[in-house]
């Protein structure tokens, strides 16, 4: 947050705060943005509410046409949009391009399937007619993070708009350029001017927006503390809320796993987006007989990952999004080492500009260490020994989080039983790393939040599930 700018030429005098976007690769200030005033924010909320009353009457074919056009617009501007993502939060450029492409996919998915997901459902009763109808709620407020600045927005915006709602976006302040670019994309694709709007506000100024009568629901992706704060405000005002929060995803490597394949997939998951993903592999729980082999393979794979300029072809890891986040991560690593963890790769703060942190491995991680107990939001792998399968499951579930998990085994029946019945998480993958997919519901349990995004479940989160009975 920059210094406040004071404007006293109006009565009464008010304060206009300024946000700034900083390139985490070079530490260069990219641009300053003035926050919306309280009156300005309220005017935007009212405009988005007014737009909803007409948008809700728009039929599905027209909504689908606009959403398909938005997908095409994303693809035709992919290079420019990817560059913006990489400039503002440091993602490697090829990953930024893939993120934009995934946004186009989710737009096309809901353009094709929304109408079917929201068709009336007949229910057999003693009445002459009874059915369930799915009707839009109104204005939905989305509070989104910086780590996937386009995907996090589109995965909730596409179903929300296709359901007939309108949306307000309060994005992370360090990706304000992305926020405004997304608003422009909706407008250029032909959506009504106020069907999707960005609010430039600090997190501390959100409660009046949540309390606004026009706002009917809130969705947040972010940290657990942020989720608690927004959920408290939503609950106080009796607003529906969906939360997708942090994670400390366990990846269980059993003794019968293909060690080479598992280590390749696990290293890739841990380093994707410089490790800044809620569903990245965080805790590697390894069966005792293969612990040394797996750790060795992980060291080999992760040591090849070059940190550097996100626009360079050879770069595998860009900078972390902010220096304070890098310093917090390093503190977690050093505290874990002081408590007995063995640092076998990385674990230092590079000299020079930018918010870089190298691929890092901590071995012999045990309960009580930050690497065991907390979410490590960066390219740090925590290696944990498990005596056997039962011990591995207990360690995996020994966390307040419950977002994603993975199991590696050649025995598919064994993997299916463990994934479905024993691992406590919103998603569990067998022999692959966890990833979101428009066709599958996404969300967590415990301190990873509640509610679901994506698939038919996601689009039904923000509708009025209405019973209609005719005698």
- Quickly list DSSP for 60-106: HHHHHHHHHHHHHHHHHTHHHHHHHHHHHH---HHHHHHHHHHHHHH
Mean pLDDT of 248-271: 98
The pLDDT-based confidence of 310 (bands split at 50, 70, 90) is: very high
At residue 394, the 3 state secondary structure works out as helix
Q: What is the pLDDT of residue 17?
A: 75
DSSP H or E segment with residue 250: strand 250-253
Give yes or no for residue 122 having a pLDDT over 70.
Answer: yes
Write out pLDDT tens, residues 207-253: 999 999 999 999 999 999 999 999 999 999 999 999 999 999 999 99
pTM: 0.95
Three-state secondary structure string covering 267-323: HHHHHHHHHCCCCCCCEEEEEHHHHHHHHHHHHHHHHCCCECCCCCCCCCECCCCCH
Mean pLDDT of 185-214: 96
Give yes or no for residue 9 having a pLDDT over 50.
Answer: no
**Residue 364 among the catalytic residues:** no
Mean pLDDT of 381-387: 98
Q: What is the pLDDT of residue 16?
A: 57
Question: Domains in the chain, ordered, with CATH?
Answer: 5-245+448-470 (3.40.605.10), 250-439 (3.40.309.10)
The 10 Å Cβ neighbour count of residue 42 is 15
Give yes or no for residue 275 having a pLDDT over 50.
Answer: yes
- Which among 99, 108, 183, 244 is annotated as catalytic? 244
Give yes or no for residue 407 having a pLDDT over 60.
Answer: yes
Write out pLDDT tens, residues 44-83: 999 999 999 999 999 999 999 999 999 999 999 999 999 9
The pLDDT-based confidence of 14 (bands split at 50, 70, 90) is: very low
**Residue 65 among the catalytic residues:** no
Query: Residues of the chain with pLDDT > 70: what percent?
Result: 97
- Which among 278, 428, 447, 461 is annotated as catalytic? 278
Mean pLDDT of 153-163: 98
Using a CB cutoff of 8 Å and minimum separation of 24, what contacts does 119-128 make?
A: 120/468, 125/469, 127/469, 127/470, 127/471, 128/470, 128/471
């Amino acid at each position: 947050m920059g210094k406040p700018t004071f404007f006293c030429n109006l009565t009464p005098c008010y304060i206009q705060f300024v946000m700034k976007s900083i390139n985490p690769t070079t530490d260069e200030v990219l641009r300053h943005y003035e926050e919306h005033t309280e009156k300005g924010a309220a005017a935007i909320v009212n405009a988005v509410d007014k737009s909803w009353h007409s948008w809700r009457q728009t039929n599905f074919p027209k909504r689908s046409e606009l959403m398909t056009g938005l997908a095409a617009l994303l693809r035709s501007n992919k290079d420019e949009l990817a560059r913006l993502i990489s400039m503002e939060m440091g993602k490697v450029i090829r990953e930024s391009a893939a993120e934009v492409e995934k946004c186009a996919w989710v737009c096309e998915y809901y353009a094709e399937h929304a109408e079917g997901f929201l068709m009336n459902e007949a229910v057999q009763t003693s009445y002459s007619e009874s059915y369930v109808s799915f009707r839009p709620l109104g204005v939905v407020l989305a509070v989104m993070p910086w780590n996937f600045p386009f995907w996090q927005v589109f995965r909730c915006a596409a179903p929300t708009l296709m359901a007939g709602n309108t949306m307000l976006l309060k994005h992370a302040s360090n990706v304000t350029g992305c926020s405004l670019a997304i608003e422009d994309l909706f407008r250029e694709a032909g959506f009504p001017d106020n069907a999707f709007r960005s609010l430039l506000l600090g997190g501390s100024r959100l409660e009046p927006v949540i309390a606004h009568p026009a706002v009917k629901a809130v969705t947040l992706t972010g940290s657990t503390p942020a989720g608690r704060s927004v959920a408290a405000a939503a609950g106080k005002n009796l607003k529906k809320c969906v939360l997708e929060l942090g994670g400390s995803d366990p990846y269980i490597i059993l003794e019968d796993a293909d060690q080479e394949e598992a280590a390749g997939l696990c290293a890739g998951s841990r380093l994707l987006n410089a490790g800044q993903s809620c569903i990245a592999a965080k805790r590697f729980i390894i069966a005792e007989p293969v612990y040394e082999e797996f750790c060795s393979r992980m060291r080999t794979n992760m040591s090849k990952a070059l940190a550097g300029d996100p626009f360079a072809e050879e770069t595998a890891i860009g900078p972390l999004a902010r220096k304070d986040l890098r310093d917090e991560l390093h503190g977690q690593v050093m505290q874990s080492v002081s408590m007995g963890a063995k640092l076998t790769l990385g674990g230092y703060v590079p000299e020079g500009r930018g918010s870089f942190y190298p691929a890092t491995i901590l071995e012999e991680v045990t309960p009580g260490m930050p690497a065991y107990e907390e979410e490590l939001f960066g390219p740090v792998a925590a290696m944990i020994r498990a005596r056997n399968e039962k011990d591995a499951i207990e360690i995996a579930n020994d966390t307040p989080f419950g977002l994603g998990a993975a199991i590696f085994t050649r025995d598919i029946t064994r993997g299916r039983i463990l994934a479905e019945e024993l691992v406590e998480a919103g998603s569990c993958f067998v022999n692959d790393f966890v990833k979101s997919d428009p066709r599958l519901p996404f969300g967590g349990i415990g301190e990873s939040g509640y509610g679901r995004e994506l698939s038919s479940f996601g689009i039904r989160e923000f509708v009025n599930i209405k019973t209609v009975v005719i005698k």
